[in-house]
Amino acid sequence: MSDFEIKGWCPGALRPMRSGDGFVVRVRAPKNRLTQSQIAQISDLSMRYGNGILDVSSRANLQIRGVQDDTHLALIKGLRALGLIDETVDLESRRNIVMTPFWQSGDQTEQLATVILNTLASSDYPQTPGKFGIAIDTGPTSILRDVSADIRIERCADGLICLADGATHGRLVNLDNVANAICELAHWFIAAGGVTDGRGRMRALVQNGVELPVAYRAALATQVVAETPEIGVYPEGAMVGLPFGQLHAEILKQLSELGGLRLTPWRMLLLENVNSMPDLEGILTDPSDPHQDIIACTGLPACPQAKGNTRRLGTQLIPHLAGKSPVHISGCAKGCAQPFGTATTLIMTDTEHFDVIEHGTIRDTIDHPHLTLDALLAQPPSPFKRP
C-alpha cells in the first residue's frame, strides 16, 4: 500500500483541495487568458481571502493558496463576478483545457477554443475522469506534446487534426465538426474501457493496444514538435518565468498594469503585447536562469502528503546545475508536478533523503536510493557539475 493518497482529480474553485496551508482554489481561466481587470482583482481577492500566494499549474491554471473554510464562499463570490466560475462542479471538472499561448487573431485558435468550451458544457459531452483534458496546440508547430492532455487538436499537413493522446494518427477536423469529433472520442474512451473506478487516461488506453475508431486512424499527425519555449520576447508578448511556478499577489498586481496575461503550463506567463522584459522583483527575465531547470511540487509544509521541502532542496541544488537538463523534485511518489521523464528525478523519502531516477519518470526503477544532498553531489549525475 502506498503512503500517499491519489485523489484522481484536480482541484477547482467549486471543489478546492485541502493542503497544508489551507484550500488550493484553482481558477480555470477561459482560454488560459486573464484580462488586466481580472488580474488586478484576483490579486486583491488572493490577499483578502487567501495568503497572497499564487501558483501557475502545469495545466495553465492559476491557483489561489491559503484559502480557509470561512473565506472560501466569499472568494467564490468574487471570482464569479469576474466570470471565472462554472455553474456546477461537474462542468468545472470537465473544463480542463490547455491552449498554446502563441495564438494570434485570425488563426482560428480562439474560435476553436470557443467551440470546445461550448462542447464541454453541452449535454452531449460525457462526464470524463477528473484529470481528463484537452490540448489546443494549434500554433505554427506543436509545443504541448509534453503537457498532460487526453485529446489533442493540432495542425498537420492537411489542416487540423483531432487525435487521442499517444496516437500517431487522428481525424481531420474544422470549426464545423471539431465538437462532434471531441464528443465522439470521449464517448469512445469510456466505452472502450478507459475508466476504472472513476479514473483513467487516454494514453494508457492507446498504449494498451486498444484500436481507435477508423476515423481516428485516417490522418497522420505531424512529427515536428517544438521545444518548450524559453523566457524572452515573442510576437505575442514577453514570456516571463516564475520561481517554482509561484508568485505573490503584489507582483501579480504589478503585472496587471502591463496588459493581459496568457497562462502557460511551463511555470511562465506571457504578457500580451509587451515588447521588452519588465523590470520587476519576483519574476525571471533571463532565459539562462537555473530556476527554470527545477521542476518541484509544493512539498512541505504546504502539502501534507510530502515527505520533504522540495523547494528548499531545489534552491540548494541550483548552484550545482551544469546545463539546461531539467531536474524534477517530487515530495512523494505521486509526481504531481511532472508526469513525463526528466534527466534526473528526485523523490523525497524524508526531510533529508531522496531516491534518484536517471533519465526516466517517477514510475521507473530507482537508480540510487535514499541519498542525502552531500551524497548526490559527491557523485552527481549529468545535469550537475562535477566536484
pLDDT recorded at residue 1: 35
Indicate the pairing of strand 354-360 with strand 368-371: antiparallel
Q: What pLDDT does 9 receive?
A: 60
Asked if the model's pLDDT at residue 296 lies above 50, the reply is yes
Would you state the pLDDT for residue 89? 93
The predicted model gives 174-195 an average pLDDT of: 97
Nearest CA-CA partner of 113 in 71, 52, 78, 160: 160
Assess contact for 307 and 300: CB atoms under 8 A. Answer: yes
Closest C-alpha to 232, from 281, 187, 289: 289
Cα dihedral across residues 291, 296, 302, 308: positive or negative: negative
Domain coordinates in residue numbering, the chain: 17-85+231-272, 103-220, 290-378
Interval 92-140: pLDDT, tens = 999 999 999 999 888 899 999 999 999 999 999 999 999 999 999 998 8
Q: What is the model's pLDDT at position 304?
A: 86
pTM of the model: 0.92
Same fold? 17-85+231-272, 290-378: no
pLDDT at 8: 56
- Least confident range from 4-8, 182-186, 224-228: namely 4-8
Position 5 scores a pLDDT of 52
Q: What is the dihedral of CA 147, 149, 151, 157, to 10 degrees?
A: 0
334 pLDDT band (50/70/90 cuts)? confident
Over pLDDT 70: what percentage of the chain?
98
List the single range of 104-108, 171-175, 189-193, 258-262 with lowest mean pLDDT. 104-108
Q: Which residue has the cell 519588465?
A: 278
| CATH number of 17-85+231-272, picked from 3.90.480.10, 3.90.420.10, 3.40.720.10, 3.30.56.10 | 3.90.480.10
pLDDT above 70 (res 282): yes
Q: Say if domain 290-378 classifies as CATH 3.40.1710.10.
A: no
Is the pLDDT at 310 greater than 50? The verdict is yes
User: How far, in Å, CA of 122 to CA of 114, rounded?
Assistant: 12
Residue range 329-348: mean pLDDT, rounded:
89
Q: What pLDDT is attached to residue 339?
A: 77
**Mean per-residue pLDDT, 345-362:** 94
Is residue 7 over pLDDT 60? Answer: no
Of the candidates 336, 314, 339, 316, the one whose C-alpha atom is nearest the C-alpha of residue 327 is 314
Per residue in 38-64, pLDDT (tens digit) is 999 999 999 999 999 999 999 999 999
Is the peptide bond prior to 381 cis by the omega test (within 30 degrees of 0)?
Answer: no
Q: How far apart are CA 81 and CA 62, in angstroms?
A: 17
Q: What is the pLDDT of residues 189-230, one digit of tens each?
A: 999 999 999 999 999 999 999 999 999 999 999 988 888 899
